[in-house]
Amino acid sequence: MLAEIAISNLGVIRHASAELAPGLTVLTGETGAGKTMVVTGLRLLTGGRADASRVRTGAQEAVVEGALSIADLPESTLSAVHAIAEGAGAGPDENGEYVVSRAVKATGRSSAHLGGRKVPAATLGDLAGHLLTIHGQNDQLRLLAPEQQLAALDRFDPAIAQKLSSYRDVYVQWREASKDLKDRTEKRLELAQEMDRLRFAIEEIDAVAPVDGEDADLVATINRLQDVDALREAAQTALVAIDGAEAVGGYSTEAEEAASDLVGRAQAALVGASDEELRELGVRLGEVAGVLADVSAELGSFTADLPTDPDELERLLQRQQELKGLTRKYAPDIAGVLAWREKAGKRLSKIDTSEEAIDELKRRVADLEAELKKRAAALTKARNKAAKNLGEAVTEELHGLAMPKAQLRVELAEAKFGRDGADAVEITLAPNSALEPKPLATSASGGELSRVMLALEVILSESSAGGTLVFDEVDAGVGGRAAVEIGRRLARLALRHQVIVVTHLPQVAAYANTHLHVSKDVGDEAVTSGVGNLTDEQRIEELARMMAGLDDSDTGRAHAAELFKRAQREVEEMRA
């Protein structure tokens, strides 16, 4: 649910904010007041295209912020929302809401944030796809597209989703196997040449048999070998200075006393002194003696580990050249060479062009195609059943929307195997049962298309709850009795969802739980708009204004009050 929205410098709106409640919320106002900008702001929050021309004249940027509540979402939707947010490093705030924002600069650049973290606009689209759906004039036109009609049918029956998923599992395997078979048969010569190159490369790498990290170890060892005499001399000189010539197999003279002996003698002279300060210095000399002993031991080990084989350096240099031969061809380092070797082995195992391998692949493609047809038939059967039921349900809704004789049908036709099955869907409409139904694109007026879309949404939303549905002038081209019925349908839809409607019709606005009014102030240099939440008395005045501008008429206000009370009474009965 959309809990709150704030808009700054978008179109005629300098700054406006509104808290949005559950149920049905309507936005009304005079033409040009900025209602469309509210919907534009919502589209921006759902990852829609940023248009610099929408930035208020004179402003540096437009900003839209919203708070998305996830409290009443079903578990499956909640898991999907959390996964998207966690993938972006974002989380809900202290109210359990996801704060989203979108900024559009006058220069055309835009930025998006989720939970305080900067994210691509597409991430907002992924998140909002689970929470918020916008229906406007352009969305009605999208309903005419065959893929949108197929998606609507699949939403109608939850059983279709399982069959579609089962079909797609096999479809992916069949497509990959078919492509593999085509490549192996049509590109046999190229693949045979590739196999030869891969075999040669693998054999070359295996002949050298490199070990991960060996190249770096060789560099360190070779550097030591190339300087081994100087290193040995330095270590032995230090060892003699600490422990005397006997430490390296020599003889010491009385004039050449070892550092360890001198430190030991100094320590012995101090530790027995009567003065506390001297005894403390003796203790510290004992620590020095310990350090000298440790260094002496490590120097001995270092000297013992130095290579003594004169041919070792030549052998390692030759090994280094072998490894460099591989890193020049396959990767910058041995780790990369080994990774390339593994990838090449997998590739080689997949491009066997022998007759036996191709025959086996043909059998696999045939088996997968048979299974694909079986699952496609099950999917088509489920869709045919759902299509009949969906057509009847929407037709019944249309009868309640002042189209008493309209007949809507959802028809399936055979199509090529694709990701969504082997079905093409077309929604057709006839004014009455005596006439042949025709495609929506050629049979429905703007007002009729609005009612078809609303009827579809009412039916499709019965199996879900907790989302937010936005309707931007879905009642365009509608009036009279149809307008009342649209208001009722929207109110009924709002029992399970948050519904936000931009409308010019008082019959629709009267059914709202919350009524937001977008007002404009025309100054000498600029036009500004604001959004306010109307009280019941203000709502009656607004309804009177919407009824042909009768807000200053007692009769108009009386009619508005009657409309409002009757609609609110119906809403209460729906909730009961």
Contact, 26 vs 499, CB < 8 A? no
Higher pLDDT, 444 or 504: 504
Vertex 47 angle, CA 46 and 51, to 5°: 115
Q: Which two tokens stand for residue 403?
A: 């189209």
| Mean pLDDT calculated for residue range 348-369 | 85
| Mean pLDDT calculated for residue range 264-270 | 80
pLDDT band with cut points at 50, 70 and 90 for residue 268: confident
* Helix, strand, coil share (%) of the chain residues, nearest 5: 60, 20, 25
What CA dihedral angle connects 11, 12, 17 and 19, to 10 degrees?
-80
pLDDT given at position 139: 65
Residues 6+ apart with CB under 8 A from 394: 408, 410, 452, 455, 456, 459
Q: Which two tokens stand for residue 4?
A: 């709150």
CA neighbor of 386 nearest in space, from 143, 154, 151, 162: 154
pLDDT given at position 380: 96
Strands 514-522 and 24-28: parallel
Please say if the pLDDT value at position 525 is more than 60.
no
Work out whether the CA dihedral 545, 548, 549, 552 comes out positive or negative.
Answer: negative
Contact, 39 vs 101, CB < 8 A? no
Q: What percent of the chain has pLDDT over 90?
A: 31
Q: What percent of the chain has pLDDT over 70?
A: 93
Residues 6+ apart with CB under 8 A from 403: 448, 451, 482
Half-sphere CA count of 67, side-chain side, radius 13 A: 16
| Mean pLDDT calculated for residue range 528-538 | 83
pLDDT band with cut points at 50, 70 and 90 for residue 524: very low
Q: Which two tokens stand for residue 302?
A: 């270092």
Please say if the pLDDT value at position 539 is more than 90.
yes
Q: Which two tokens stand for residue 407?
A: 């007949």
Spatial strand order of the sheet with 407-418 comes to 407-418, 421-430, 438-439
Strands 498-502 and 468-472: parallel
Helix axes 446-460 and 355-400, enclosed angle (nearest 10): 110
Q: Is 129 exposed, middle or buried (0-12, 13-18, 19+ CB in 10 A)?
A: middle
For 95, phi then psi, to 5°, come to -95, 5
Q: Which two tokens stand for residue 175?
A: 């497509």
Residues 6+ apart with CB under 8 A from 214: 323, 334
Q: Which residues of 234-249 are buried (b: 16+ CB within 10 A; e: fewer)?
A: ebbebbbbbbbbebbe
Vertex 364 angle, CA 363 and 369, to 5°: 100
**Which of 235-244, 360-369, 399-408 is predicted most confidently?**
360-369
Q: For 178-219, how does the pLDDT look when each residue is reduced to its tens digit (9 = 90+)?
A: 998 888 777 777 777 888 889 899 999 999 899 898 888 888
Q: Which two tokens stand for residue 218?
A: 């060789």
Give, for 46, the enclosing helix (H) or strand (E): none
Is the whole model's pTM more than 0.95, yes or no?
Answer: no
Q: For 82-134, how does the pLDDT look when each residue is reduced to its tens digit (9 = 90+)?
A: 889 888 888 888 888 889 999 999 988 999 999 889 999 999 888 888 888 88
17 vs 9: CA distance, rounded Å:
12
User: CB neighbours (10 Å) of residue 527?
Assistant: 17
Q: For 170-179, how does the pLDDT look when each residue is reduced to its tens digit (9 = 90+)?
A: 999 999 999 9
Q: Which two tokens stand for residue 98?
A: 């996801």
**Separation in Å, CA 4 to CA 50, 89, 554:** 21, 22, 35
